[in-house]
Amino acid sequence: MVLFADDSNILISGDNLNIVQSRLNKVMQETETWFASNSLIINVGKTMAISFHTTQKIKASPTTSFI
């Protein structure tokens, strides 16, 4: 979790989408509980999820050179 002033970022990683979604659901429930306990609210209108993926790794052949 990265916090700055009134901005919060939660970074979650996993080997597949199902794992990430499960972790995200758990973290969001815990975050909602923490916010409520501290008299804060999550602005649902400004809340979004962004999914980043790694690119497929390309294996170089013995004759391929990279500069």
Q: What is the pLDDT of residues 11-65, one digit of tens each?
A: 899 888 899 999 999 998 998 899 899 998 888 888 888 888 777 666 666 655 4
Both tokens of residue 43? 């602005």
Q: How many separate domains does the chain show?
A: 1
Q: Provide the sign of the torsion angle of the four alpha carbons 25, 28, 34, 37, taken in this order.
A: negative
The confidence score (pLDDT) of residue 23 equals: 93
- Whether 34 maps to a domain, the answer reads yes
Provide φ and ψ at 47, rounded to 5°. -95, 135
* CA atoms of 17 and 51, how far apart (whole Å): 9
- Whether 39 maps to a domain, the answer reads yes
At residue 10 the predicted structure's pLDDT band, cuts being 50, 70 and 90, is: confident
Give the residue with greater pLDDT, 25 vs 4: 25
- Whether 65 maps to a domain, the answer reads no
- Whether 55 maps to a domain, the answer reads no
* Model pTM score: 0.64
- Whether 10 maps to a domain, the answer reads yes
- Whether 67 maps to a domain, the answer reads no
